[in-house]
């Protein structure tokens, strides 16, 4: 762990890897796999962060994650019996995080599950889907799957009361079968149609999903603690609450590589989070569709300005997107400082990247932002990302490539700690 006094003078690339952060001491709980989520973070980082903070003498009453994604930190905080507050802009992330961190009664799950399936089976032979199906849904799904999914969703809504945690649970199950029952190219990190795909049967997919979700969430229920978990769908830049967490554990969105709104469009459309999924790109940090105003570049910190200038030489539009990302991240470090109770600690996991030969030094920018936002002590170490494929480049469609003129994907990332 090295202390950062002046972010510009640190040789981040040559920081040693600290094996403490590489692997967890136990297998990741299967609750973390109830729904796919891009850029999900390894669950054990939460346990390590808690351990690390406790060694520093921090008493942890509440953990926050301002980019909570699918609720990895939320779930681990609950497992440790610690209160949690988190938010995410993406309604699909919030749905998964809520479903993952609920406390469920097994018999209630069984009753709802049976009533959904009985209703589905009774109505399927004569069911007519609504006429006003979103065009984009028709683009991704065959008519038969549209009919069955429409009915399944209707059954969930009819069988489970509004605002019940069981509604989140079953809608999360519904959401996670959408890719397999559509024409979406399996495992693709870009939205694209597979012309040869044979979608899974809706009922089978739902049954399988419910069986694995129940096994994951109920087993763990035996050790559920009485801690409180709050997850909100909101823009982290607008968090109003201050001074309530002793520990922030988070991983910021990646700089212009994932379009969360695009990747979750099937769920957003089916669950009526948007009529046009592109509306959900608004305010998404790291989206390449964000507007930025020329003059705001003046507010970039020194590390951000260096990268912006280098990128401007190779791709002006990319430089603007990266500048917008850095400006947002500069605000986020201020928000996080306010969220922390004095004496608390923030831990961020962040990676660097490269674009057309320009090193995009996110860690340097984050450290400088934290120092500028009033963190008194900023320290950094490095971890190895396990399971990384050996070809460290991706092409324009996100596929791994051996060619070094493509976007570089690093096999290491940084742990940045602020006090
Ligand atoms: C790297 S992911 C976090 C993943 C998370 N740690 C997990 O394990 O699922 C970053 C998250 O930031 C969210 N995000 C992007 N812009 C945001 C904003 N303005 N406010 C809140 N969340 C935002 C994205 O939706 C995404 O879920």
Residue 341: phi and psi, rounded to 5, are: -75, 140
**DSSP line for 208-269:** HHHHHHHHHHHHHHTT-----EEEEE--GGG----S-EEEEEE-PPPTTS--HHHHTHHHHH
Average pLDDT on 383-411 reads 55
Lowest mean pLDDT among 65-74, 129-138, 144-153, 401-410: 401-410
Helix or strand run (H / E) with residue 120: helix 106-123
Q: How far is CA 222 from the centre of its chain?
A: 27
Query: What domains can be seen in the chain, in order of their start residue?
Result: 2-85+244-258+282-418 (3.40.50.150), 106-217 (no CATH)
Determine which residue's CA is closest to atom 18 belonging to ligand 1: 235
Asked whether the predicted pLDDT for residue 120 surpasses 90, the reply is yes
Q: Is the CB of 41 under 6 A from ligand 1?
A: yes
What is the chain's alpha carbon radius of gyration, rounded to the nearest angstrom? 22
Q: Is the CB of 90 under 6 A from ligand 1?
A: yes
- The Cα–Cα gap between 58 and 50 comes to 9
Q: Is the CB of 235 under 6 A from ligand 1?
A: yes
Q: Is the CB of 280 under 6 A from ligand 1?
A: no
- The Cα–Cα gap between 174 and 297 comes to 43
- Beginning with the edge strand found earlier in the chain, give each strand of the sheet holding 400-401 in spatial order: 358-360, 353-355, 407-409, 393-394, 400-401
Helix or strand run (H / E) with residue 44: helix 44-55
Predicted confidence band of residue 8 (pLDDT cuts 50, 70, 90): very high
Determine which residue's CA is closest to atom 25 belonging to ligand 1: 90
Average pLDDT on 225-254 reads 95
Q: Is the CB of 75 under 6 A from ligand 1?
A: no
Determine which residue's CA is closest to atom 1 belonging to ligand 1: 253
Asked whether the predicted pLDDT for residue 397 surpasses 90, the reply is no
Q: Is the CB of 89 under 6 A from ligand 1?
A: yes
Percent of the chain with pLDDT over 90: 83
Determine which residue's CA is closest to atom 27 belonging to ligand 1: 69
| pLDDT score for 391 | 40
Asked whether the predicted pLDDT for residue 398 surpasses 70, the reply is no
- The Cα–Cα gap between 304 and 306 comes to 6
Q: What is the pLDDT of residues 9-53, one digit of tens each?
A: 999 999 999 999 998 888 899 999 999 998 888 999 999 999 999
With the most atoms of ligand 1 within 8 angstroms of its CB, the residue from 36, 65, 88 to mutate is 88
- The Cα–Cα gap between 307 and 319 comes to 8
Report CA(11)–ligand 1 centroid distance (Å). 28
Q: Is the CB of 237 under 6 A from ligand 1?
A: yes
Q: Is the CB of 33 under 6 A from ligand 1?
A: no
Q: Whole-model pTM?
A: 0.94
């Amino acid at each position: 762990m090295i202390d950062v006094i002046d972010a510009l003078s640190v040789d981040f690339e040559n920081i040693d890897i600290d094996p403490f952060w590489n692997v967890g001491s136990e297998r990741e709980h299967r609750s973390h796999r109830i729904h796919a989520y891009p850029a999900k973070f390894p669950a054990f980082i939460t346990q390590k962060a808690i351990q690390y903070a406790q060694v520093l003498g921090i008493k942890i009453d509440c953990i926050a994650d301002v980019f909570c994604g699918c609720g990895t930190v939320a779930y681990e905080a609950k497992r440790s019996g610690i209160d949690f507050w988190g938010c995410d802009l993406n309604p699909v992330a919030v749905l998964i995080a809520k479903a993952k961190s609920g406390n469920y009664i097994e018999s209630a799950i069984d009753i709802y599950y049976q009533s959904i399936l009985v209703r589905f089976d009774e109505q399927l032979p004569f069911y007519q889907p609504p006429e006003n199906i979103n065009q984009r849904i028709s683009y991704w799904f065959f008519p038969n799957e549209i009919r069955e999914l429409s009915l399944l969703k209707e059954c969930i809504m009819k069988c489970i009361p509004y605002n019940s945690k069981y509604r989140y649970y079953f809608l999360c199950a519904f959401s996670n079968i959408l890719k397999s029952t559509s024409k979406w190219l399996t495992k693709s990190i870009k939205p694209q149609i597979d012309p040869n795909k044979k979608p899974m049967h809706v009922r089978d997919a739902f049954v399988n999903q419910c069986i694995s979700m129940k096994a994951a969430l109920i087993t763990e229920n035996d050790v559920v603690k009485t801690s409180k978990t709050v997850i909100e769908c909101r823009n982290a830049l607008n968090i109003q609450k201050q001074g309530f967490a002793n520990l922030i554990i988070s991983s910021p969105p990646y700089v212009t590589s994932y379009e969360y709104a695009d990747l979750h469009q099937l769920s957003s459309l089916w669950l009526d989070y948007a009529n046009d999924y592109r509306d959900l790109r608004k305010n998404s940090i790291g989206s390449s569709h964000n507007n930025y105003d020329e003059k705001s570049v003046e507010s970039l910190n020194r590390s951000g300005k260096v990268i912006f200038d280098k990128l401007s030489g190779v791709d002006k539009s990319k430089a603007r997107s990266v500048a917008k990302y850095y400006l947002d991240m500069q605000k986020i470090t201020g928000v996080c400082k306010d969220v922390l109770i004095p004496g608390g600690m923030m831990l961020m996991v962040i990676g660097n990247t490269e674009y057309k030969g320009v090193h995009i030094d996110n860690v340097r920018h984050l450290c400088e932002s934290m120092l500028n936002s009033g963190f008194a002590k900023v320290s950094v170490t490095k971890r190895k990302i396990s399971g990384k494929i050996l070809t460290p480049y991706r092409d324009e469609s996100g596929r791994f490539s051996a060619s070094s003129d493509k976007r570089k994907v690093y096999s290491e990332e940084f742990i940045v700690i602020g006090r």
